[in-house]
Amino acid sequence: MIGLRPRRSFKRLRQAMFSGRRPPRFCFTSGNHVRLFKGGVQFFPALIERIDNARKSVSLETYIFANDDSGRAVSDALVRAAERGVTVRVITDGIGTESNLPMFKLWQERGVEHRIYNPHLLFGPLGFSRTHRKLALIDETYAFCGGINIVDDYDQNGTRLERPRWDYAMEAQGPVVRDVREAFDLQWQRIRLGVKPRQPTQPGCEPQETESARAPGRWNARRAMLARRRARLGEIHAVDQPCVAFVARDNLLNRRAIEKAYLRAIAHAESEVLLANPYFMPGRKLRRALVNAAERGVRVSLVIGRKEFVALDYATPFLYGNLLKHGVRIAEYEKTMLHGKVAVVDADWATIGSSNLDALSLVLNNEANMVLVNHPEIAGLHDAILQAFDEGRPIDEKHYASRPVTERALNWLAYNTYRVMMKMITIGQYD
């Protein structure tokens, strides 16, 4: 097992992330306390406890809000908060969540504000995009982010799983919470307007100077804001300091933010890349980065989920050949439903969030990930991904090459059908 220690490779990564003309659409901050949760059995009690202790505000955004035991428990906590005067805002997706859940009427009666992101099945004011984020913000003090929907761990589209799904989320307390708040507020405004408003200030970026900012009466406030931004950007250069960044992708200015975070980390990997994802259909850039890392001698291990969408079960294996040929290790996880979207690079960089590695998440949907650097919590995630890889079904290169002709044909057809469909939906952005 690779030891968990700061690596020189990440010094170069930190410098590279902030050396270009255009700063990245996120920034790292230090001084954040982090907790990781595996599955709903750990996540939901922690979330409900924070909601029950909220004094000012609760904001929650999710793709799925189910009318099951887990969903009703979270809903009850939201209602309790609203009844004691806390401002409660909830965003659900128009497709991922049923539009006529009984709890929605209760929310309206008890003062829970609820907005639905893009209720149109086909093209609407927000395009084809969905909100696939899983976020919660409590009193602007605690922020939750991950892959866990508000749904029972054992439920899979109405089918009872034998084991809880494999999934992860995290809680952050510290400066990074501000970026989560900005992303949620922008989403709340976007839904209200039914359009994609221009974001005035991008997390991790210098704001543009406007006429109002040049006004003498606002100069001191502007100078303080710029100083705070520059200080936050500079914190990533700390060699051994644990850092956290919030990375949100949208269809305005942060179109490739999450993909670029992956690409930068993999490009600077020296020893190991561990990646677990349920829907593995990345574009050429990300596949090439994994291959290049393996050719450099980096041990690249992929844990890929199965048995949720039949079409992907046939399409994804089409990508295995080139990856295996260059030394990438692949295991298909079938012990239960793998839903976590996590990765660890060189044991000192990790990401946890909602973004799958497919066209919908990387190019179209609203997604949100956290990136951790040099945090001690990375060790547990590192071991969990390795364990999942060991529990998965390894894909052997020779056995893969000897597949029947009919299976190869199905893989080719499924992959190319998927690729054409995604190019149409994303207007050619998926590569």
pLDDT in tens, the chain (431 residues): 333 434 444 444 444 443 443 344 578 999 999 999 999 999 999 999 999 999 999 999 999 999 999 999 999 999 999 999 999 999 999 999 998 899 999 999 999 999 999 987 766 666 788 999 999 999 999 999 999 999 999 988 778 899 999 999 999 999 999 999 999 999 999 887 754 433 333 334 433 333 333 334 443 444 344 334 433 433 333 446 899 999 999 887 788 899 999 999 999 999 999 999 999 999 999 999 999 999 999 999 999 999 888 889 999 999 999 999 999 999 999 999 999 999 999 999 999 999 999 999 999 999 999 999 999 999 999 999 999 999 999 999 999 999 999 999 999 999 999 999 988 887 777 87
Question: Which ranges of 23-68 does DSSP label H, i.e. alpha helix?
Answer: 40-52
Closest CA to 358 of 266, 278, 427: 278
Q: What's the domain count of the chain?
A: 1
What CATH number does the domain containing 243 carry?
3.30.870.10
Confidence (pLDDT) at 122: 63
Structure tokens at 181: 């708040």
Residue 208 in domain: no
The rounded distance, in Å, linking the Cα atoms of 139 and 58 is 6
Residue 406 in domain: yes
Compute the half-sphere exposure of residue 389: CA atoms within 13 Å on the CB side of its CA: 21
Residue 40 in domain: yes
CA pseudo-torsion sign 300, 38, 36, 203: positive
Confidence (pLDDT) at 144: 98
Q: Are strands 299-305 and 272-277 parallel, antiparallel or unpaired?
A: parallel
What's the CA dihedral at 309, 311, 315, 320 to 10 degrees? 30
The answer to whether residues 261 and 393 touch, using CB atoms and an 8 Å cutoff, is no
Residue 430 in domain: no
Confidence (pLDDT) at 254: 81
Residue 42 in domain: yes
How buried is residue 256: exposed, middle or buried, by Cβ count under 10 Å (0-12/13-18/19+)? middle
Instruction: State the catalytic residues.
Output: 132, 134, 139, 339, 341, 346
Residue 226 in domain: yes
Full domain range(s) for residue 318: 8-199+222-425
| C-alpha pair distances (Å), 163 with each of 117, 153, 156, 159, 180 | 31, 8, 11, 12, 32
Residue 213 in domain: no
Residue 207 in domain: no
The rounded distance, in Å, linking the Cα atoms of 23 and 204 is 7
What's CA 73's distance to the chain center, in Å?
24
Contacts of 215 (CB under 8 A, 6+ apart): none
